[in-house]
Amino acid sequence: MIMRIFDTHAHYNDDRFNDYEGGMDKAIRDSYQSGVCGFINCGTDPDSSLCSIEIAKCYENAYAAVGIHPEACEDLNDTMNESLDKITSLLSDPKVVAIGEIGLEYHWDIDRRLQHKFFKEQLEIAKKHDKPVIVHDREAHGPVLEMIKSYPGVIGVMHGYSGSAEMVREFTRLGWYIAFGGPVTYKNAEKVREACRAVPLDRILIETDCPYLPPVPHRGEINLSKNMKYTLDAMAQARGEDKEALAQAMLENTKRLFGIDF
């Protein structure tokens, strides 16, 4: 079996790739040469969403997600309707497979009422246009779950999952997917590995969130998709599964959720 790994969450437009030798293009090509078969580049506001589409057009099996991240909400408050209209207008591009990265961020002091408004409006867009969503959830597990429950026709993925194993079961009962990245390799992340074990095989995904959250042994470095091999090893070990079979299952899950085929 030829093992193929698909990165369901990347940010190759991030300025940190300016510090990678050869830049963003080299980081992507290095990853493809290491067994990565594709990626989804996620937007965080209208401009980065448009950039994600342009990046996706340049690489094989590359796709884009468009959306407004909770950390961008305050900056876009005065132009909320215009910004949401821009996100909606991008959905017609064939490279766009999801709305994201959207959600709630409770770690930082960001207007929570405003976050909820942006999150709700983008779930409405997802419902209207029948698009999956990629959800950011930091220290807001309960509110995110309640928001998702109010949109039973919308499904998506909990990106960079950091919640409990018990809440995994809540999300997956609703038909949602759960994605894990570099933190599953961290020494003190047993809670993440416990959650990883709780995800049904047909609902688990892998990601990087690059250039952030590199796995061991690359902590402190710029993360890129080729580092998923370490994350895959840790996920397979935590679940007691064959890594090639797990990689294949996650690839099939990716295709099913995002409606892509290659």
CA distance 211 to 11: 7
Q: State the average pLDDT over residues 167-187.
A: 97
pLDDT over 70 percentage in the chain:
99
Which amino acid, residue 190? E
Q: How confident is the model at residue 262 (pLDDT cuts 50, 70, 90)?
A: confident
Q: b/e for 34-49, b at 16 or more Cβ within 10 A?
A: ebbbbbbbbbbbbebb
Q: How confident is the model at residue 2 (pLDDT cuts 50, 70, 90)?
A: low
pLDDT of residue 227: 98
CA distance 11 to 44: 9
pLDDT tens digits for 108-165? 999 999 999 999 999 999 999 999 999 999 999 999 999 999 999 999 999 999 999 9
Global pTM reads 0.97
The neighbour count for residue 128, using CB atoms within 10 Å, is 12
Which amino acid, residue 206? I
Can you point out the beta strands (E) in 109-182? 133-138, 156-158, 177-180
User: Quick check: bond before 217 cis, omega within 30?
Assistant: yes
- Which DSSP category does 215 fall into? P
Q: State the average pLDDT over residues 180-196.
A: 97
pLDDT of residue 211: 98
> Are 49 and 64 contacting, i.e. CB atoms less than 8 angstroms apart?
yes
pLDDT of residue 16: 97
Q: Which residue has the tokens 């963003």?
A: 24
pLDDT tens digits for 76-95? 999 999 999 999 999 999 99
CA distance 232 to 5: 9
The neighbour count for residue 124, using CB atoms within 10 Å, is 13
CA distance 91 to 125: 10
Q: Which two tokens stand for residue 237?
A: 């070990």
Which amino acid, residue 107? H
pLDDT tens digits for 18-65? 999 999 999 999 999 999 999 999 999 999 999 999 999 999 999 999
Nearest of 79, 85, 11, 17 to residue 51 by alpha carbon: 11
CA angle 85, 91, 92 (to 5 degrees): 115
Q: State the average pLDDT over residues 168-175.
A: 97
pLDDT over 90 percentage in the chain:
98
Mean pLDDT of the chain: 97
Contacts of 165 (CB under 8 A, 6+ apart): 194, 195, 197, 198
CA atoms within 13 A on the CB side of 133: 32
| Residue 66 confidence (pLDDT) above 60 | yes
DSSP string for 190-207: HHHHHHHHHS-GGGEEE-
Q: State the average pLDDT over residues 205-229.
A: 98
Residue positions counted in the chain? 262
> Are 6 and 207 contacting, i.e. CB atoms less than 8 angstroms apart?
no
Contacts of 142 (CB under 8 A, 6+ apart): none
pLDDT of residue 220: 95
pLDDT of residue 122: 98
pLDDT of residue 17: 98
